[in-house]
C-alpha cells in the first residue's frame, strides 16, 4: 500500500506557523506580573525579533512580483498595503527597502535578518547609500555600507541620517567636498521638481496642510515660527502660551501653529503678486445690520464661513479686506472713463460671481478674467453690472464669433456653437 506524499513545507511557512503558535501561547498573559528586569529584556528582545521579521517580510516582498501580477496590482508593495490594511506609503517604503536589500546591500540585509539593525535604521542607511556616487572609487559604496551598519549599534535613525550624509568625510575626505557640492546641487534640483503643498479638509473647522518643501524654505518658515513661539516672546498677545482652563503650558507644536496663523494674518498684501487682477487678499463680507450682533456669521471670498467675532478681529489686519454689505462702498462704475476693471470692481465681481460664470464651470473667481458684456470697443461701459468673470477658456469663447451666449435665470451664461 503506497503512502500518500506529504507536501513539503517551506522554511518561511514553518517560521510563520511557529510565530503564530508562540503568539497564541503568550496571548492573555499579563505583562504586569513580569519582574522589571524581565520586562527590560522582553522589550529589547521583542524589538530585535520585530526587526528580523521586518527583514523577512521585506525579503519575501522583493520576490513577490508574481503575487502582484496575479491580481493586476501595480506592484507588490501596493498589493500588500491593500491586503494587510497598511498605509499605501508604508507598502511603497517596504518594497523599496526589500529591493535595496535584495539587489544592492547584502551586509545591511544580513544585519536586519539577525536584528542588529531596526527597519527604521535600515531604511535610513539604504537611503544614504543610494545617494552616494559610484565614482571615483568603486569600493567606496561597500565601505560606506559596512561603516554605517557598524554605527547602527550605537546610533538611532536620526543620528544615522546625519552620519550617512557625512560618511564621505570619514571614508574619503579627499573627495568629500566636491561630491557634497554635487549632491547638494542635485538635491536642490530634485526638491524643486518634487515640492508639493496639499490640502485636506478634516471637518469641524480644521484643515490639514501638508508641505514638502526645499530645506532652505523649510528653514525660512521655521525661523519665523520659532520667533513667534519662543519663550522670549511671552509678551506677544497673539500667542496663548497656557491653556486658559488648566493653566498648563501648551505643547510647542500648538505654539508653532498659533505662530503660523499669526504670521499669515499679518502678511502685507503688497508682499504678494497680483492674483485675479488684484493683490492677493482675503475679503471678509458681513451684513451691516448684523455687524454688532454675536449671532452673525461672515463669509470669506474663498467660500468659507467664519464667526462675526473673527471677522471683526480680522478687519484690522493687513492683507484682509472687510466688505460690509449695506455699508459704504468705493465707486464700482466708471462708465467710459476707463477700459479696464479696477481692483475694487474685481473684488466686487469676485464676491458676486465666486467662480467662472459659464454654465458648469467651477474655476475660482481669483483665476478668472473680467469680461465686458457689451464690448468696450462697441460703446460698452466699465462697471460691475456690465462685467462678468470668465476663466481663460470661456473668455476666449466669449470673443469667438462661432459661439453665442445666453444668460440663464441664475446669472450663469450658456455657450452654444452657432450652426
In a domain? residue 207: no
In a domain? residue 17: no
**The model scores a pTM over 0.85:** no
Domain at 389, CATH number: 1.10.30
Last residue of a domain, one of 137, 166, 193: 193
Q: Does 114 score more than 60 pLDDT?
A: yes
* 334 band by pLDDT with thresholds 50, 70 and 90: very low
Q: What is the mean pLDDT of residues 338-360?
A: 79
Last residue of a domain, one of 325, 343, 363: 325
Rounded-to-integer distance, Cα 266 and Cα 306, Å: 18
Q: Single out the residue of 146, 182, 186, 188 nearest to residue 167, CA to CA.
A: 146
Pick from 184-188, 318-322, 404-408: least confident? 318-322
- Same-domain pairing of 53 and 186: yes
Contacting residues for 291 by C-beta, under 8 A, at least 6 apart: 308, 312, 324
Q: Does 369 score more than 60 pLDDT?
A: yes
- Same-domain pairing of 157 and 104: yes
Q: Does 122 score more than 80 pLDDT?
A: yes
Rounded-to-integer distance, Cα 397 and Cα 137, Å: 61
In a domain? residue 198: no
Rounded-to-integer distance, Cα 226 and Cα 224, Å: 6
In a domain? residue 162: yes
Q: What is the mean pLDDT of residues 156-160?
A: 94
* CA distances to 177, 189, 326 from 185, in Å: 12, 6, 56
Rounded-to-integer distance, Cα 59 and Cα 48, Å: 17
Tens-place pLDDT, residues 131-152? 887 665 778 889 999 999 999 9
Taking a C-beta distance cutoff of 8 angstroms, is the pair 403, 416 a contact?
Answer: yes
- Same-domain pairing of 157 and 112: yes
Q: Percentage of residues in the chain with pLDDT exceeding 90?
A: 32
Give the range of the structural domain holding residue 281, as residue numbers without chain letter. 271-325
Contacting residues for 141 by C-beta, under 8 A, at least 6 apart: 129, 132, 134
In a domain? residue 31: no
- Same-domain pairing of 117 and 62: yes
pLDDT at residue 235, as a whole number: 46
- Neighbouring CB atoms inside 10 A of 58's CB total 25
In a domain? residue 7: no
Rounded-to-integer distance, Cα 324 and Cα 328, Å: 8
- Same-domain pairing of 174 and 232: no
The domain total for the chain is 4
Rounded-to-integer distance, Cα 399 and Cα 383, Å: 19
Strand, coil or helix: what is 225?
Answer: helix
- Same-domain pairing of 174 and 187: yes
* 350 band by pLDDT with thresholds 50, 70 and 90: confident
- Same-domain pairing of 175 and 218: no
- Same-domain pairing of 304 and 345: no
pLDDT at residue 302, as a whole number: 65
- Same-domain pairing of 83 and 185: yes
Pick from 194-208, 242-256, 268-282: least confident? 268-282
Q: What is the mean pLDDT of residues 87-105?
A: 93
In a domain? residue 33: no
**Higher local confidence (pLDDT), 6 or 200:** 200
In a domain? residue 402: yes
Arithmetic mean of pLDDT over the chain: 80
Output the DSSP codes for 271-333. GS-EETTEES-EEEEEEGGGTT-SS-EEEETTS-EEEHHHHHHHTTSTTEEEEEETS-----E
- Same-domain pairing of 123 and 235: no
- Same-domain pairing of 154 and 86: yes
- Same-domain pairing of 358 and 393: yes
**Higher local confidence (pLDDT), 249 or 312:** 249
Q: Does 61 score more than 70 pLDDT?
A: yes
Tens-place pLDDT, residues 77-91? 999 999 999 998 999
Amino acid at each position: 500500500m503506497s503512502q500518500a506524499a506529504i507536501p513539503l513545507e517551506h522554511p518561511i511557512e514553518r517560521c510563520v506557523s511557529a510565530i503564530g503558535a508562540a503568539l497564541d501561547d503568550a496571548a492573555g498573559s499579563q505583562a504586569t506580573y513580569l519582574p522589571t528586569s524581565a520586562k527590560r529584556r522582553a522589550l529589547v528582545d521583542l524589538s530585535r525579533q520585530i526587526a528580523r521579521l521586518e527583514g523577512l517580510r521585506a525579503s519575501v516582498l522583493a520576490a513577490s512580483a508574481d503575487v502582484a501580477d496575479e491580481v493586476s496590482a501595480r506592484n507588490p508593495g501596493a498589493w500588500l498595503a491593500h491586503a494587510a490594511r497598511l498605509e499605501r506609503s508604508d507598502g511603497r517604503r517596504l518594497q523599496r527597502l526589500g529591493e535595496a536589500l535584495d539587489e544592492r546591500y547584502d551586509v545591511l540585509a544580513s544585519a536586519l535578518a539577525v536584528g542588529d539593525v531596526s527597519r527604521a535604521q535600515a531604511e535610513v542607511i539604504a537611503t544614504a547609500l543610494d545617494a552616494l556616487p559610484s565614482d571615483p572609487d568603486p569600493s567606496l559604496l561597500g565601505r560606506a555600507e559596512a561603516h554605517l551598519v557598524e554605527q547602527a549599534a550605537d546610533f538611532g535613525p536620526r543620528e544615522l541620517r546625519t552620519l550617512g550624509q557625512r560618511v564621505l568625510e570619514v571614508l574619503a575626505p579627499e573627495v568629500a567636498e566636491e561630491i557634497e557640492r554635487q549632491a547638494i546641487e542635485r538635491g536642490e534640483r530634485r526638491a524643486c521638481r518634487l515640492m508639493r503643498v496639499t490640502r485636506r479638509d478634516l471637518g469641524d473647522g480644521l484643515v490639514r496642510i501638508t508641505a514638502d518643501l526645499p530645506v532652505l524654505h523649510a528653514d525660512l518658515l521655521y525661523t519665523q515660527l520659532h520667533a513667534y513661539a519662543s519663550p522670549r516672546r511671552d509678551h506677544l498677545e497673539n500667542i496663548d502660551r497656557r491653556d486658559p482652563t488648566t493653566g498648563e503650558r501648551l505643547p510647542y507644536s500648538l505654539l508653532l501653529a498659533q505662530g503660523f496663523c499669526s504670521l499669515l494674518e499679518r502678511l502685507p498684501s503688497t508682499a504678494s503678486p497680483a492674483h485675479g487682477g488684484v493683490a492677493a487678499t482675503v475679503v471678509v463680507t458681513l451684513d451691516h445690520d448684523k455687524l454688532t450682533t454675536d449671532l452673525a456669521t461672515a463669509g470669506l471670498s474663498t467660500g468659507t464661513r467664519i464667526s462675526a467675532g473673527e471677522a471683526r478681529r480680522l478687519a484690522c489686519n493687513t492683507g484682509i479686506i472687510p466688505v460690509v454689505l449695506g455699508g459704504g462702498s468705493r465707486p464700482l462704475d466708471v462708465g467710459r472713463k476707463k477700459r479696464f476693471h479696477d481692483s475694487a470692481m474685481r473684488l466686487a465681481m469676485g464676491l458676486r460671481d465666486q467662480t467662472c460664470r459659464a454654465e458648469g464651470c467651477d474655476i475660482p473667481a481669483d483665476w478668472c478674467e473680467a469680461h465686458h458684456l457689451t464690448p468696450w470697443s462697441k460703446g460698452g461701459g466699465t462697471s460691475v453690472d456690465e462685467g462678468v468673470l470668465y476663466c481663460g477658456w470661456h473668455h476666449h469663447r466669449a470673443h469667438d464669433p462661432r459661439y453665442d451666449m445666453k444668460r440663464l435665470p441664475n446669472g450663469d451664461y450658456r455657450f452654444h456653437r452657432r450652426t
